[in-house]
Amino acid sequence: MLNVAEVSKTFFPGTVNERRALINVNLQLAAGDFVTVIGSNGAGKSTVLNTVAGRIIQDSGSVSLDGRDVSKLKEHQRAAQVGRVFQDPMAGTSPNLTIEENLALADRRGRRRGLALGVSKAKRERFAEELKVLELGLENRLKTKVGLLSGGQRQALSLLMATFSQPKVLLLDEHTAALDPQRAELVTRLTVKVVQEQELTTLMVTHNMAQALEVGNRLIMMHEGRIILDVSEQEKAKLTPEDLLAEFAKIKGAALDDKTLLQ
């Protein structure tokens, strides 16, 4: 479903600020794979997601979705095929629009847009049905401005919106990191549910070792622009967060942030 082949990306090449963010990265995901991605700071995790989304175009190598080379397509041209949720709950939704208007925008993503945000009765009923999956009662608050929702509610809504166009791949970039533990747990649970129900092919970046082991059917670890560990579902089942920290410790000079060490 997703094929990242020999992808390299260097920022500010030939200058003192040169950063080799990705070095010949190869990553294949079969349809329905749910891969968690961990790694030291600056390892290249977000850059992998950015190259899949088209926000960053790689210097060499290719990205294919469902057998189609999308390497040269811009972010908006891939929008219908790629769903994404960011760390910041404010990033995925528009605070001044209502829940139903946000959903209407998500519904139109990647298609030719009109500016009208009118929502038909049939659409409203569909949105309410979809919102029920979140078990947050948001289906009864369709006309509420999203800015009035809590961070956890907004992130749950962002998740639903990211999956609205039935994307070929779902990218989650530390999407629970800014939430308190209870809300993070809720959004993690919802993520597993939505991914399973829609059989989404998913890449999830996390600094939380327990979460990286708990969800998904495969785990990769990145360091300095490379994938240095690729763990199958069976192997993953036997690992503990301490094992992963021990793997990190083996990497000379890898800087883990406090957040990671505490989790």
Ligand X SMILES: Nc1ncnc2c1ncn2[C@@H]1O[C@H](COP(=O)(O)OP(=O)(O)OP(=O)(O)O)[C@@H](O)[C@H]1O
Name the minimum Å distance from CB 19 to ligand X. 4
Encoding tokens for residue 68?
């189609």
Name the minimum Å distance from CB 191 to ligand X. 19
Contact stretch for ligand X (CB under 6 A) within 39-47, 71-79, 135-143, 186-194 = 39-47
Tell me which of 2, 7, 21, 195 binds ligand X, using CB under 6 A. Answer: 21
Please count the CA atoms within 13 angstroms of the CA of 89 that sit on its side-chain side: 21
Please count the CA atoms within 13 angstroms of the CA of 63 that sit on its side-chain side: 27
Residue 11 sits in the site that holds ligand X (CB under 6 A): yes
Contact stretch for ligand X (CB under 6 A) within 37-45, 96-104, 120-128, 244-252 = 37-45
Question: Cβ distance 195 to 202 under 8 Å?
Answer: yes
Sheet architecture: strand order including 169-173: 82-85, 169-173, 201-205, 34-39, 218-223, 226-232
End-to-end CA distance of the chain: 32
The alpha carbon of residue 253 and the mean position of all alpha carbons in its chain are separated, in whole angstroms, by: 27
Name the minimum Å distance from CB 223 to ligand X. 9
The residues facing 201 across adjacent strands are: 169
Q: Please say which residue, 36 or 102, places its beta carbon nearer to ligand X.
A: 36
Q: Please say which residue, 41 or 140, places its beta carbon nearer to ligand X.
A: 41
- Residues in contact with ligand X, counted by CB under 6 A, come to a total of 11
Name the minimum Å distance from CB 55 to ligand X. 9
Residue 44 sits in the site that holds ligand X (CB under 6 A): yes
Name every residue whose Cβ is closer than 8 Å to that of residue 105 and which is 6 or more positions away in sequence. 94, 97, 117, 161
Residue 47 sits in the site that holds ligand X (CB under 6 A): yes
Name the minimum Å distance from CB 225 to ligand X. 7
Name the minimum Å distance from CB 73 to ligand X. 19
Residue 84 sits in the site that holds ligand X (CB under 6 A): no
Tell me which of 7, 27, 43, 138 binds ligand X, using CB under 6 A. Answer: 43
Rounded Cα gap, residues 202 and 146, in angstroms: 26
Name every residue whose Cβ is closer than 8 Å to that of residue 111 and which is 6 or more positions away in sequence. 80
Type of residue found at 246: A
Name the minimum Å distance from CB 203 to ligand X. 12
Tell me which of 32, 42, 110, 241 binds ligand X, using CB under 6 A. Answer: 42
Contact stretch for ligand X (CB under 6 A) within 43-51, 91-99, 155-163, 181-189 = 43-51
Alpha helices (runs of H) in the chain, residue ranges in sequence order = 45-53, 75-78, 99-108, 121-132, 151-162, 181-198, 209-214, 233-238, 241-250, 258-262
Contact stretch for ligand X (CB under 6 A) within 35-43, 58-66, 93-101, 151-159 = 35-43
Binding site for ligand X (CB under 6 A): 11, 19, 21, 39, 41-47
